[in-house]
Structure 1
């Protein structure tokens, strides 16, 4: 994926900065708006006028950008020290640093090996542990639902985006955000099913949502939870 320098456009009286990315994975032009700004994603080799796409979707872009301004204010101000609480599968758990053979997590705490922290930092060791657990958990849930849904995916990739939670490429690659390991288990399952459903239904039409609903009850509530609580799935303001 190639990037261009940031540019600026006036949308509905608002100065909006954006960048253009050319992607070999993209099948159609799209606009991504996240905590870091606005990105126009264009399929490799396709000629698209980013300014026209932005103008056509001006109301949506401006609205999403305002939402992310609010989002920044909602990110927890956690500190990376023993005694702080971090979510794991939807439950806050106290961070414990102690002499032990390996990292672990139980009902009330996330326990990090003291020697590893001394060689690095609490933040880095904590993120590495979450990524490792996310790889195990998300692989298990993806395999579970792929079998139930009768679909096959090519591979599972873990991403490190702040607010984009998943995607499914035309080649069958499922991408999931490692930060999902902080969300409740039923929300994780919704995201997994959502992306696997794209192997059968490429768009978000009626058939797509019917398919999702077969495997995740009350999926709208799960999507709404993620929309309203995604800021909680950031370690701290330092992590933005």
Structure 2
């Protein structure tokens, strides 16, 4: 998963700090740095894959707030400014967060967590074939897709089973499945989905993966067997 970011700020020092912080988080990707709203608009028009703006509110000619309000279907935004009185205005346009300069990396990371939460709710997180980001409590875990054995719905949570452990995340099974390649993962029961590449034994209406026995629901069996036989 990558969250593609755009910095829009007229202060070189602020640009530098944001760039350093973004580089510390491996699922953030800095697309460009813009000095003003005009440059930013041009960048947004040429790149539809930008997910997140770090937008300074107090900029010359066009303020960050005015610029953001003018956008059609804008990306998520984290406003940055040295002026706390702008905070209310920022949240009135549904900002993911508001960073008051100067801010620490811990505070920056908290803002990123809020963006990940919003992306998860909308189930629009993009993924690569290599890894996804899973939130467990207040931490973000980068999980290699091929290391996932199976997934289990567990009340309001989902257990993601790896070789010697599982991660418990507050999410829904169908949301997690949207983050995974459907050629590799298939739902086999209302509460289970498996990595086809980890399945070695099918015994009646059960799948054996390591020490685990996973039930196969009748309504899912045909699709599972079809994908398993073509894997």
TM-score of the alignment, normalized to the shorter chain, above 0.5: no
Larger gyration radius, structure 1 or structure 2: 2
TM-score of the two chains, using structure 1 as the length reference: 0.28
Q: Higher strand fraction: Structure 1 or Structure 2?
A: 2
Q: 1 or 2 for the larger relative contact order (CA 8 Å, sep ≥6)?
A: 1
TM-score of the two chains, using structure 2 as the length reference: 0.28
